[in-house]
Structures are given as structure tokens and as C-alpha cells.
Structure 1
């Protein structure tokens, strides 16, 4: 066979292999293969999970997990020059943006609940936590019953908002609830005196506290009424992509990589100004890393 014919045969063989590989892909992975683009939803102020640094770059614990998933997508699809497009999302629009295909997946601070599993799919859990609140140290407020008759802030579109409103109604607490657009605005209600407390996921409260001018003036307190978990969110009925995402998360957890990532973002100084959340790895998190799973907890 001539050199020209050999080169042509090799080219055709490569093309047919590529076509066969593409034919094996389904759902999001096929879309990414065909378009050469993956769209990632990111949060703007979910410290330290997914947020902007001083240069408006998205960083954080969950963001690093998302980028590991992107690397796995590159390997699976063979698109080595994959373009990563990021779209800012909020607690209120993240589920619709996954459902309508605007974003392919998101890893931020999204809770996996039984209700949401009817709307989207969730990866193996990446974080376990309790619902608590942050208040001024001198407020005299220690637990949820102390919030009765007070003005309390939370973030709109979150499972915490639903929990707080349900608690308010069922326990006749007569709270005035302010639903802010994001976590930063929720905590601002506390620092400015508009609300006595901000109810949210415990790690996010530590993130807001670390940003405060005088963090020691605030405490995270309250007996958690529920425990919940964060996961990456993707479209339902896409088993191939979910399997890839779960395998990536599971490998990070069982290999020890996730524990190192946790230490980086929760126990050491982080951008933009060297704040330290001082939030050590819990026994529950160690158990999760040893036995990855995608179970909703509510």
C-alpha cells in the first residue's frame, strides 16, 4: 500500500472510530461532543463553595469538583479543546436553567431533597450539614424558639426558606421573614439590624461570618431542626452523564482527594482576603467520603 493510501486508510479508520464513539454517547455527553461546549452554572456568593474572587473568577470547593467533572467529560467525549461556558445562577433560577438546557450542570450549594428529585437529578453528595442561624453575639438569641416574634432573614428559593416558613406556621412563632436574593444580602439584614438572625445552611453561615468586618461579633447557633446535603445538579433521565459525575465524585472522596480539598477551603485562609472559616471535617463527612452515595436526607 502506498504511503498516501495508508494515510487515507488510517484517517478513515480514525473517523469511523470517532463516529462509533460518538454514537455511543447519549444525553449531555452527546450534546457536549457535538457542540464542543459544556455549560456550567456557578454561584456568585456561596462562600466557600462557589463564588467570585477579587478578579471575578469563580472559585471554591464545589467549583473545583465541577472542574474535575469537566476533565472527566473531556476524557469521555474525546473533546480535548472543550470550551467551558459559565453562567451565574441563583437559588431561584438554578432548577429551571438545568431543566431547560441553559446549563448542563451545576456544583454549588444546592440541597438534594426528595421534592427536587422530581425536577432534576443529583450526584453523589458532596457535603453534609445542619440548618442553623447566625446572629449578633450580644443578641441573647441562642436557639430557634428565641426567634418567635422577631424579624428573621433567609435566602429566597432555598429549602431553608420553606423550612422556616413551615416552622413559623406550624409552631405559631409569629416571625416576620425577609427573603433576600442571595446569602450576602441575607446576612446584610443582620449586620444592619433589619433582622435579628439569618437562617441558612451552617457552612454558608460560617462563610458570611468570615467576610464580616468583625467576625467575632457574630455567632452561628441553634439546634439544627434537620440535616441536609449538597450535591451537583444535572438533568433527569440522563444516566450516562450521571454515572460519569458520580464516578468522579466517588473517586475524589475514596482516594482522599476530597478531604484535602475540604481542608483547603474550610480550615485554611481563602481568597479574597485570607479569611478562615475554621470549620473542621465532621464525623458525618468522613463517613460520606468513605461510603459515597446520592441519598436525599429530608
Structure 2
């Protein structure tokens, strides 16, 4: 009796594992020795691309009209049209999925979204959990603080508090630098970029460590940009932003890269960039006046 129950239990376990592996596997054999991307096959059937977005203007955010907007969103729309042409589909509709820095990898690899079109940094440790598309921006981590606090570099924060966003590389950067330099920093983790910036604005923390482009954008629309200062010192080397796709679906990642290269080569690319970095946008209208970096221009000119 016990042997029979054990056999049935093991059989049930094997069935469960088979179902779970099918859920997480995004490439399967087609019966002819070829692999088939489940993401692409679902796209062929539904004509719906599930796009992850966040609250990181000017990359992806909800505008005053309630629409999902931003530089990354515009690029993903153009990318989707190129994908439609490559796959020869009658249409591709975009379904937006809200994600946070803390849950983005889980949503991506469990199938909640097909691609994250926001501002995720392409790092070696992240490449173990996601595929990255060709870069669409380059940034560096810096500190934002109120000018009256006279914080120009990391050393000026000795023994003070720093807000960080969960799921970002900034946490590990701050903790590592605090240990190496024996700064005794107190980190205050929060879920959202806007919340971390507000902690600086209301004096709850001394500084906020985040990607410099996001800091400049939040300062520009704060209503009192003259009150803030961005550190002269960068924390770490410049890094690339890239759209993330599932780690176990390289065929879909290749399709995304091919479609993006077409956008990067077109005259649409400069127009999209200028709309978000050289012209006023948002509420209240504000401009970042940030020309395309040499790193980004070189990367786009080198795509094949």
C-alpha cells in the first residue's frame, strides 16, 4: 500500500514539474528539431504585445491625460511596427503592464509582460535573468540633495541617510561604497523613484542615489529646481539602458534587436530623441536640453 502511494505521489510530482517547466520555458521544440518562440507564436495568434512601463519620466510614465507616454514607449511603438512588418502580421496592438523595479524581472520571466520598455540598466548580474536589447540611453549614478545641505560628493554624506529604490543597482553601489570608505550611510529603501525623490524634497533624507538622467528630469519639473543639487562625483562608470526580454527566449530577443536596429537607422530616431530630451514636455512643461551623447550616437551608428 505504501509503495503504491509513493509511486502515485512521485507521478504527481513529475506532472507538476512538467507543467511548471512548460510555463517558464518560452522556447519549445516544434517536432522537427527546431525551437519555436512561444512569445512570437502568441504574438502571431493574438497580435498583442505586452509592454512593461513604470514611473520614470522621460522614459515611461502616465501623462496628465492618463496615457502611457515617454521616450522608451515611443521607441517600443516604432519597434512594434517593425516587428509587425518582419512577422507579416496585419497588426500588433500594445497592452501596457505596470511594473516596479522590484517586480520587473518576476513579471517578465513569469509571462506577465513580453518586454520592459523603460530604463533598466544593462548589468552583468541582470543578464543572468534577462536578455537586453541594444542600448537606447547611457547614464551614470549620482546623488541629488537640497543645495542647502552642501553635498557635492559621497564623502559629504558621512553618517547621513540616503534614499534608494528597491530592485535597482543603486542599492548595491551605495552599500559597497559605504563599506569601502567606512561612511556609515543609512539607506532608506522605497518602492518608487518619485517617493525616493520626495524624501529628499521634504528633508526626510539627506540625498537620493539614482541615474543622473532621472534626477535631472525630476528636478526640472519640481517647481523649484534652484533648490536642488546633483553631485559632481559619479558612483561607478557610465552604463547603458536597454529593453529587457525573457532570458529563455533568445528568438524573441533577436526579433526585438532586429526591429530596434531598423528604428535606430531611420530618421525617426533623432526625432524621437529630440522630442523627449530637447523639447518641452510634461506638466508643467519643461525641457531637459540634453543632446544625444557620444556613446549613444556611436552605438547606433555601429549596429548591423
User: Per the shorter chain, which TM-score range?
Assistant: 0.7 to 0.9
Structure 1 segment 140-155 matched on structure 2, within 5 A:
140-155=150-165
- What's the TM-score, normalizing by structure 2? 0.83
- Poorly superposed stretches of 4+, deviation over 4 Å: none
Q: Of 39, 42, 63, which residue of structure 2 is paired with 1:31?
A: 42
- Equivalent runs, 1:1-298 vs 2, <5 Å: 26-43=37-54, 45-224=55-234, 225-292=236-303
Are 2:80 and 2:259, in contact at CA under 8 Å, matched by a contact in 1?
Answer: no
**Is residue 83–residue 259 contact of structure 2 (8 Å, CA) maintained in 1?**
no
Q: Which moved more, 1:189-198 or 1:250-259?
A: 250-259
Say whether the 8 Å CA contact 2:131–2:250 is kept in structure 1.
Answer: no
- Are 1:125 and 1:292, in contact at CA under 8 Å, matched by a contact in 2? no
| Cα distance in 1 for residues equivalent to 2:286 and 2:37 | 43
Tell me if structure 2 keeps the 8 A contact 1:126–1:249.
Answer: no
Alpha-carbon distance in 2 for matches of 1:27, 1:64: 25
SS at match of 1:138: helix
Contact 2:81 2:92 in 1 (8 A): no
C-alpha deviation, 1:257, in angstroms? 3.0
CA distance in 2, matches of 1:235, 1:216: 42
The question of whether the paired residues in 1 share the 8 Å contact of 2:135 and 2:296 is answered with no
Shift of 1:280: 2.5
Q: How much does 1:112 deviate?
A: 1.0
TM-score by length of 1: 0.85
Deviations 1:86-131 (A, max 9, x none): 1100000001111011101111011111111111111011111111
The answer (yes or no) to whether the contact 2:157–2:183 under 8 Å persists in 1 is yes
Distance 2:172 2:227 in 1: 28
Q: Secondary structure at the match of 1:193?
A: coil
The answer for unaligned runs of 5 or more in structure 1 is 1-22, 294-298
Aligned counterparts of 1:38 and 1:254: Cα–Cα separation in 2: 23
Mark the CA change 1:24 to 1:180 in structure 2 (over 3 Å): closer, same or farther. Answer: closer
Q: How many residues align?
A: 270
Distance, in Å, in 1 between the alignment partners of 2:290 and 2:81 is 28
- Pairwise CA RMSD of aligned residues? 1.9
Give, in angstroms, the shift of residue 38 of structure 1: 1.8
CA distance in 1, matches of 2:303, 2:161: 39
Shift of 1:256: 4.2
Give the whole-Å Cα distance in 2 for the aligned partners of 1:275 and 1:141. Answer: 25
Query: Alpha-carbon deviations, 1:247-271, whole Å to 9, x = none?
Result: 2222322334323322210121012
Q: 1:136 to 1:278 in 2, by over 3 A?
A: farther
Q: Distance in 1 between matches of 2:278 and 2:92?
A: 33
Please state whether the residue corresponding to 2:263 is helix, strand or coil.
Answer: helix
Q: Deviations over 1:1-52 (max 9, x none)?
A: xxxxxxxxxxxxxxxxxxxxxx996331111112332211111x20100001
Question: Aligned pair in 2 of structure 1 residues 145, 292: CA closer, same or farther (>3 Å)?
Answer: farther
Comparing 166-175 with 53-62, greater Cα deviation is found at: 166-175
Contact 1:147 1:173 (8 Å CA) reproduced: yes
